[in-house]
Homo-oligomer: A and B are copies of this chain.
Amino acid sequence: MTAQNGEASLTASDITDSSALVHGLTAEEIRTLTAKCIEAKAAAYCPYSLFRVGSALLTHSGSYISGANVENASYPVGSCAERVAMGSAVFAGHRRGDFRAIAVATDAPEPSSPCGMCRQFLREFCGGTSRL
């Protein structure tokens, strides 16, 4: 699931119970996840790309855990928002089977999806039923 702040972005009012059903989440959960990842974006440290990314995870226990991108002068050393969020979640004790959904927010008009490295990182902990 991806959210943007731009003109073309998803707004809370766009989220109906029927769209929520597609993700297996309630409309309220999608609204919260959307708000959390947009909020997370504000904490991004991205002086090199100027491309802010926020991410939020929803666990089966109902917790929301967020992260933002943390860049480095040596580009390959930085971390994406999704891995910052998942790192915190795993450190907090969450493991495979605990995750229901992850959402990502950027400033781009089009939705973005996690890069391959993050998908691989997430795959270690997300079963077939986690929603993207």
Contact = CB atoms under 8 A, between A and B. Distances in A.
Interface of A: 40, 43, 45, 48-49, 66-68, 70-80, 83-84, 86-88, 90-93, 95, 115-121, 123-124
B43 A74 contact: no
A115 B117 CA distance: 8
Contacts of A74: 80, 115-118, 120
A50 to B, nearest CB: 11
Contacts of A75: 48-49, 71, 75-76, 78
Contact of A76 (B43, B67, B86, B117): B117
Contacts of A45: 90, 95, 124
A80 B120 CA distance: 13
A66 B88 CA distance: 9
